[in-house]
């Protein structure tokens, strides 16, 4: 399974795919490379392959090869970058052969980022990999990046300095900030570092760095005639989709959604203010045994975006992304036994993807929503039932009534196609990653192993494996 994924990502994505995905937010003006830390670490932002060239000015292009062509201060004579750790939650930014062709080991530890700090397990894995490398190559360099090379990268490098070199949290945080100004700038990352290492220190986050407040080369700070660009649903301009830019309305919707989902979480969702949707953990040598001791189904993880969808009433359907941005969607969900009425107080979890189609030189894009889970239906907490029951409920209450309404011409054509995401018996894992399925589905990234008899769980779910 791993080898299939490695070969798939060896040379990076195509130019067409790069045009679909676009440049990561705030990437262009983010500083490329930091300074060497303790003769070991080189923090930097993710490079992008030449597939992205048409989206960038020459001055902002940043290829993997630049890391190997650079010379760095603070290293031993003859030191080379011999270990490259990718912490971003994707491998679409460049192909790993651009790293290994330089006689450098490539390791991918996918971390979600946003408001989710690296877990203790992910931190332990990072520290173990670096310790093993330092023992074998004490004079060489470990290059580490996430998307921007600040929060996830800083958190793990600081964790290494604290745990391996016995530094206190304050010293480790300052060391990273000197090498990569402003350092870790998200408050929840700093808070989690202190809590995890039992530090009495507390830090005030330095705030967003200047480069973070620049869009398309124009500063957003103090320029009233250059308003900040709103977030985009599925990173696309989709007919009928509107960003909720009223802070009071957005906050009210988020609080109500958090209240609806609170029965499915042991944490205080409103206090944490993190994305409330269910999040898988990475499969490893310890938890893979769950597949043989518990009943599981399998599906694919898409190259796309996960959203929580809150169906309040007709014409009030809202999508919430992992940054808690809220969008209003132009969709209809008729009732099962009364197609001229609309369901309400319903919460579902979906994957959104944009699919490119080419026929006879004609190009068009389809926006597809795959419903992965149903948590609440008309106020009923369906999420407390098994996933197998929830999977059937998706068809019963959502996709089947929509299909019936379309057949009876009770619904107009919409800008988003809606499907139930297919799950398979676990024996189909290899089939999903095979060339046939990947060529037809086009957006397969990895596998998700879903426990079939367990209830829904908000946030990190240790039994939901990726």
Q: What dihedral do alpha carbons 128, 131, 133, 134 form, nearest 10°?
A: 170
State yes or no: is 301 an active-site residue. Answer: yes
Distance of CA 171 to the CA centre of its chain: 30
Query: For residues 179-205, b (16+ Cβ closer than 10 Å) or e, as one string?
Result: bbebbbbbebbbeebbebbebeeebee
State yes or no: is 194 an active-site residue. Answer: no
Give the C-alpha separation, 335 to 396, whole Å.
10
Q: Is residue 394 within 8 Å of 336, Cβ to Cβ?
A: no
Q: What are phi and psi of 456, to 5 degrees?
A: -70, 140
Comparing CA positions, the residue from 168, 248, 163 lying closest to residue 200 is 168
Which class for 327: exposed (0-12), middle (13-18), buried (19 or more C-beta within 10 A)?
A: buried
Q: Is residue 439 within 8 Å of 300, Cβ to Cβ?
A: no
Distance of CA 295 to the CA centre of its chain: 26
Q: How far is CA 385 from CA 289, 373, 374, in A?
A: 24, 11, 10
Selected catalytic residue, list 104, 146, 322, 458: 146
Q: Is residue 155 within 8 Å of 187, Cβ to Cβ?
A: no
Give the C-alpha separation, 72 to 281, whole Å.
36
Selected catalytic residue, list 301, 335, 356, 428: 301
Other CB atoms closer than 10 Å to residue 139's CB: what's the count? 14
Task: State whether residue 276 is helix, strand or coil.
Answer: coil
H or E element, residue 358:
strand 346-359
Q: What share of the chain is helix, strand, coil (3-state, %, to 5)?
A: 35, 25, 40
Positions marked active-site? 146, 301
């Amino acid at each position: 399974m791993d080898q299939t994924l490695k070969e798939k990502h060896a040379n990076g994505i195509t130019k067409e795919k790069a045009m679909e995905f676009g440049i990561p937010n705030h990437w262009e003006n983010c500083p490329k490379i930091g300074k060497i830390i303790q003769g070991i670490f080189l923090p930097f932002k993710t490079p992008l392959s030449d597939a992205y060239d048409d989206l960038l000015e020459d001055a902002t292009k940043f290829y993997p090869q630049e890391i190997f062509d650079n010379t760095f201060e603070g290293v031993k004579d003859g030191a080379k970058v011999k270990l490259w750790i990718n912490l971003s939650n994707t491998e679409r930014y460049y192909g790993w052969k651009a790293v290994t062709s330089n006689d450098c080991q490539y390791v991918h530890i996918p971390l979600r980022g946003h408001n989710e700090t690296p877990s203790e397990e992910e931190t332990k894995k990072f520290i173990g990999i670096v310790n093993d490398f330092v023992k074998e190559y004490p004079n060489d360099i470990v290059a580490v990046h996430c998307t921007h090379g600040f929060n996830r990268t800083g958190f793990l490098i600081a964790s290494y300095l604290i745990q391996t070199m016995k530094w206190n949290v304050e010293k480790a945080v300052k060391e990273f900030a000197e090498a990569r100004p402003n350092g870790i700038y998200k408050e929840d990352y700093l808070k989690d570092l202190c809590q995890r290492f039992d530090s009495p220190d507390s830090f005030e986050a330095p705030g967003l760095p200047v480069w973070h407040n620049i869009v398309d080369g124009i500063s957003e700070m103090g320029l009233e005639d250059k308003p900040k660009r709103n977030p985009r649903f599925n990173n696309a301009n989709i007919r009928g989709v509107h960003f909720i830019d009223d802070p009071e309305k957005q906050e009210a919707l988020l609080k109500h959604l958090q209240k609806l989902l609170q029965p499915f979480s042991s944490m205080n969702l409103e206090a944490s203010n993190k994305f409330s949707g269910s999040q898988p953990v990475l499969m490893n040598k310890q938890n893979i045994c769950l597949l043989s001791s518990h009943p599981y189904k399998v599906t694919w993880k898409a190259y796309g975006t996960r959203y929580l969808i809150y169906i309040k009433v007709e014409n009030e359907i809202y999508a919430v992304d992992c940054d808690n941005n809220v969008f209003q969607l132009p969709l209809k969900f008729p009732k099962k036994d009364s197609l001229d009425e609309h369901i309400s107080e319903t919460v579902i979890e979906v994957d959104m993807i944009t699919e490119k189609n080419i026929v006879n030189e004609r190009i068009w894009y389809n926006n597809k929503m795959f419903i992965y889970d149903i948590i609440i239906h008309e106020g009923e907490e369906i999420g407390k039932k098994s996933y197998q029951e929830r999977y059937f409920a998706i068809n019963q209450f959502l996709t089947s009534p929509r299909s019936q309404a379309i057949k009876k011409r009770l619904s107009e054509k919409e800008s988003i196609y809606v499907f139930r995401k297919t799950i398979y018996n676990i024996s189909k894992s290899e089939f999903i990653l095979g060339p046939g399925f990947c060529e037809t589905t086009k957006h397969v990234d990895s596998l998700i192993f879903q426990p079939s008899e367990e209830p829904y769980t908000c946030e990190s779910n240790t039994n939901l494996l990726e």
